[in-house]
Amino acid sequence: MYDIVIIGAGVSGSAVAREVSRYDVSACVLEKCEDVCEGTSKANSAIVHAGFDAEEGSLMAKLNVEGNEMMDQLSKDLDIPFKRNGSLVVCVHKEELDGIKDLYDRGVKNGVKGLKILSREEALELEPNLSENVEGALFAPTGGIVCPFELNIAMAENANMNGVEFRFNTEVEDIKKCDDGLWHIRTNNGEYVSRVVVNAAGVHADEIHNMVSADKMHIIERRGDYCLLDKEVGGFVSHTIFPQPTKYGKGVLVTPTVHGNLLVGPTAIDIEDKEGTNTTAKGLDEVFAKASENVKNLPMRNVITSFAGLRAHLEKHEFVIEEVKDAENFIDVAGIESPGLSASPAIGKMVGNMLKDKMGLKEKSDWIATRKGVKSTEGLSIDEMNALIKENPAYGTIICRCESITEGEILDAIHRPLGARSLDGVKRRTRAGMGRCQAGFCSPRTMEIINRELGLPYEKITKSGGKSNIILERTKGEVSHS
């Protein structure tokens, strides 16, 4: 029996979990995948939006601006990379300059600070690789970039450090309010009972909502294809470059990432498949074509990987964060599409405050606000490296050569709270396998470490949980590993 059960360990669920962990409650997060950050939160633009896009007065606008403002402190507290690189909405058609002005006005009303409309010359001076056709741009200095994995993982870890339990590979099958007035949550891993349920199930939030409410919800899966480019061209632009937004969203952007890659995407196509994270040839072509309207000579030959993400779009294009009217003590955190990542700290805060008021929660005296990330060896001097290796020789062995990730970092990722159990889990916590060879070199070595540290037989080691086993079986006979 829990006070609070949160469904979903994406960035929203984890943000709520962290806020809830401030209080003296018993809380648990149920996640159907084997790790945090396995859905929408793992495949997006990694952007902290300034907040000028969303409709004035909307919850989206409010939480975006708030979330953006919270990010400096949060990134310090949780030791995650975040950079205010600034963003530009580029206009390449004279007749659309009014659109820039409208965005500016909306941004000002939403409380976005420092917005400025740039002339063609000013825009080109900031970003020499913009298209020759640029007519003007909206500059938002508060726009930023973040590591979406680390933001998600850090909030979850911090919640866990503060006592929130996490149940992975636990899929909710049914939810019922019983005579005891409590929510009974049936899962593939047994029943969970809770006073309050928070539905942060991403693209599945409608299914969860519809289990308890007569007022049905329908989430539209909006898929976007992305291409990630090598660090060699990470400096191609320094700001996040947006086109003019359309009804399908903020369009195909070109942005540096906090780790020094270049990211291009997404497309936007509505599909009806909650698992439909496949890229398409058409989509990948479109990424290049659309991005090329705003920047010139995009170095697409440096693509190292492409992927697709789903956005949990609701028809009314607004976040739904509220107690469900016909289901007392059941709170939806639904329709969290872009700018959900940017807004996530504010979403967590908002739900945390709702629960505090509703349940009369008391703050803990011993809440830990900070968390240290996986110790990175990047940029360490020779003396610092030697001190580290002396203390722990595992930092002297490079496992991922593209990203220079050491065995020490991988051990840290495995053994920390909510540690990695799969190759993707290691990747999202350390970047091992995220480089230009895309794990061709390091995956057998990472498997060796997972096998040794977790006692997982090779056949059971997965790429990302479920049935994503890397190998099938042994070849003939026993093999000794020396």
Partner 1 sequence: MKTYDIVIVGGGPAGLAAAVAAKEAGNDSILILERDHELGGILNQCIHNGFGLHTFKEELTGPEYAYRFIKQVLDLGIEYKLNTMVMDIAPDKTVTAMNREDGMFTIPAKAVILAMGCRERPRGALNIPGYRPAGIFSAGTAQRLVNIEGYMPGREVVILGSGDIGLIMARRMTLEGAKVKVVAELMPYSGGLKRNIVQCLDDYGIPLKLSHTVVDIEGKDHVTAVTIAKVGPDRKPIPGTEIRYTCDTLLLSCGLIPENELSRSAGVKMSPVTSGPVVNESLETNIPGVFACGNVLHVHDLVDYVSEEAKRAGENAVKYINEGCRDSENQDFIEIAATDGARYTVPSSINLDRMSDLLTVRFRVGDVYKDSFVSVYFDDERILHNQKRIMAPGEMEQIILKKSQLKEHEGLKKITVKIEAE
Task: Catalogue the active-site residues.
Answer: 49
Q: Contact 39/10 with Cβ under 8 angstroms?
A: yes
Min dist. Cβ of residue 210 to partner 1 (A):
23
- Quick one: 53 or 412, whose CB is closer to partner 1? 412
- Quick one: 178 or 479, whose CB is closer to partner 1? 479
Among 117, 161, 359, 385, binds partner 1 (CB under 8 A): 385
Q: Is 468 in the site for partner 1 (CB under 8 A)?
A: yes
**C-alpha–C-alpha distance, residues 227 and 249, integer Å:** 18
Q: Is 261 in the site for partner 1 (CB under 8 A)?
A: no
Min dist. Cβ of residue 268 to partner 1 (A):
17
**Which of these ranges, 94-102, 356-364, 366-374, 383-391, lies near partner 1 under the rule CB under 8 A?**
383-391
Among 133, 292, 305, 376, binds partner 1 (CB under 8 A): 305
**Which of these ranges, 132-140, 185-193, 237-245, 390-398, lies near partner 1 under the rule CB under 8 A?**
390-398
DSSP state letter for 130: B
Q: Which residue type occupies 21?
A: S
Cα-Cα-Cα-Cα dihedral of 241, 245, 251, 257, to 10°?
Answer: 30
Per the structure block, which two tokens stand in for 348? 């967590």
Among 126, 394, 454, 456, binds partner 1 (CB under 8 A): 394
Q: Is 205 in the site for partner 1 (CB under 8 A)?
A: no
Strand partners, 460: none
Among 269, 303, 454, 456, binds partner 1 (CB under 8 A): 303
336 CB-near residues (< 8 Å, 6+ apart): 12, 40, 200, 202, 205, 312, 319, 343, 344, 347
Q: Please, which of residues 438-467 interact with partner 1 by CB under 8 A?
A: 438-441, 443-444, 458-459, 462-464, 466-467
Per-position x/- string for 266-285, each x denoting binding to partner 1 as judged by CB under 8 A, each - no binding: ---------x-xxxxx-xx-
Strand 303-314 to 219-229 pairing? antiparallel
Among 271, 437, 454, 456, binds partner 1 (CB under 8 A): 437
The closest alpha carbon to 317, from 452, 401, 228, 222, belongs to 222
**C-alpha–C-alpha distance, residues 83 and 88, integer Å:** 15
Min dist. Cβ of residue 434 to partner 1 (A):
10
Q: Is 228 in the site for partner 1 (CB under 8 A)?
A: yes
Per the structure block, which two tokens stand in for 459? 């056949």
Per the structure block, which two tokens stand in for 397? 């062995």
Q: How far is CA 15 from each of CA 20, 26, 274, rounded to the nearest angstrom?
A: 9, 16, 22
**Which of these ranges, 80-88, 187-195, 357-365, 386-394, lies near partner 1 under the rule CB under 8 A?**
386-394
E strand intervals along 81-218: 82-83, 87-91, 116-119, 136-140, 144-146, 165-167, 172-177, 183-187, 190-199
- Quick one: 61 or 388, whose CB is closer to partner 1? 388
**C-alpha–C-alpha distance, residues 331 and 343, integer Å:** 17
Q: Is 169 in the site for partner 1 (CB under 8 A)?
A: no
Q: Is 369 in the site for partner 1 (CB under 8 A)?
A: no
- Quick one: 216 or 467, whose CB is closer to partner 1? 467
Among 83, 259, 317, 401, binds partner 1 (CB under 8 A): 401
Min dist. Cβ of residue 312 to partner 1 (A):
18
Among 307, 323, 364, 367, binds partner 1 (CB under 8 A): 307
Per the structure block, which two tokens stand in for 205? 């939030």
**C-alpha–C-alpha distance, residues 203 and 277, integer Å:** 12
Min dist. Cβ of residue 259 to partner 1 (A):
15
**C-alpha–C-alpha distance, residues 65 and 57, integer Å:** 11
**Which of these ranges, 66-74, 78-86, 108-116, 398-406, lies near partner 1 under the rule CB under 8 A?**
398-406
What string of DSSP letters covers 147-165? -HHHHHHHHHHHHHHTT-E
Min dist. Cβ of residue 428 to partner 1 (A):
14
Q: How would you class 253 by CB atoms within 10 Å of its CB: exposed for 0-12, middle for 13-18, buried for 19 or more? A: buried
Per-position x/- string for 317-356, each x denoting binding to partner 1 as judged by CB under 8 A, each - no binding: ----------------------------------------
Q: Is 386 in the site for partner 1 (CB under 8 A)?
A: yes
374 CB-near residues (< 8 Å, 6+ apart): 409, 412, 413, 416, 429, 430
Min dist. Cβ of residue 307 to partner 1 (A):
6
- Quick one: 26 or 306, whose CB is closer to partner 1? 306
383 CB-near residues (< 8 Å, 6+ apart): none
Phi, psi of 420 (to 5 degrees): -70, 140
CB count in 10 Å sphere of residue 368: 13
Residue count at the site for partner 1 (CB under 8 A)? 55
Interface residues with partner 1 (CB under 8 A) are: 227-228, 275, 277-281, 283-284, 303-307, 382, 385-386, 389-390, 393-394, 396-398, 401, 404, 436-441, 443-444, 458-459, 462-464, 466-479, 481
